[in-house]
Structure 1
């Protein structure tokens, strides 16, 4: 029970603290409301469950056996975040804040696929799996925890996007926001690099 509470706390802290997943959900909500954020939320959760299955099946052991995978994953994830940040900044410099066609993954599939490049997600899942018993009940409990906690935390970020959208009705405010989001994504990338 103690290890489950520890895992619950780790998942909650990881899911609510700012990071690329939260920025993607908030941005989707900001541009299209809560309904537009649902595919992003579903993608984060589906991608995390996919990682959970992969780690449960032995990917965590693979990271231990071939430690060279970890820096490659960090660099690939950082490169992707830098690209997303650059696209947001470029969009912000366009006329009227640019088009709403962003480089941010807009589909559940795109966001789920991003989880494979997101080192924060890998670390979270490997840590959570190592703290729970290796039984089927442990795996199911962990999956339910991921769905419930991530769903709640990402919904909070979606609501934040809807609230912020009220202040971003003019193009100048939108440009400032998109630039700030781009810089934050690039800053997230910098934290991944050694």
Structure 2
């Protein structure tokens, strides 16, 4: 991949990774509710899952969707239903005491990694990057580099949302504020469905 393609790719990866979406909304809520260290498996799951998704799609998985368009519809609406369920859970989550926080679990590595496959924003980012930034006659190394750029940049961008959640944790001390925050994040999660369903 040439430098002329690599620099715009890095910019695209940073902008698309830092903007609001299901992953960033959920990791923000995780940072608030569980802290940064306990949110790390969630963060690494997002990054590794998305990096693998780009790599697999770049190596030809996208052709499956071209041959079986119904799969795209199933993923689209299945992902929407799952996001609505996550939003409902988040909106109805009662503010936790210190003991409850230590007993409950944030989203784990494998759940966060698997979530990428039904995350509408992840599909848009992945397919946009592959169709725009892979050179003609690309090789496996080009796909690996593209996926690696997203993985490296993504961990810092998504991680910044977790840190923002931790910072908000210091501000939102009372249970009512945490409850309002969780409901606001649930609504933001539902709002991420609009571009996909509109």
TM-score normalised by structure 2 residue count = 0.86
1:31-180 aligned within 5 A: 31-92=33-94, 100=101, 106-130=107-131, 131-133=133-135, 134-180=138-184
Report which stretch shifted further, 132-141 or 170-179. Answer: 132-141
The answer to whether the 8 Å contact 2:59/2:140 transfers is no
**Aligned length in residues:** 190
The secondary structure found in structure 1 opposite 2:171 is coil
2: distance between equivalents of 1:12 and 1:153? Answer: 7
Gap runs ≥5 in structure 2: none
2: distance between equivalents of 1:115 and 1:49? Answer: 9
1: distance between equivalents of 2:46 and 2:13? Answer: 13
Cα separation, partners in 2 of 1:54 and 1:140, compared to 1, 3 Å = closer
* Higher RCO structure, 1 or 2 (CA under 8 Å, sep 6+): 2
2: distance between equivalents of 1:105 and 1:118? Answer: 18
TM-score normalised by structure 1 residue count = 0.87
Gap runs ≥5 in structure 1: none
CA RMSD of aligned residues (A): 2.2
Cα separation, partners in 2 of 1:23 and 1:142, compared to 1, 3 Å = same
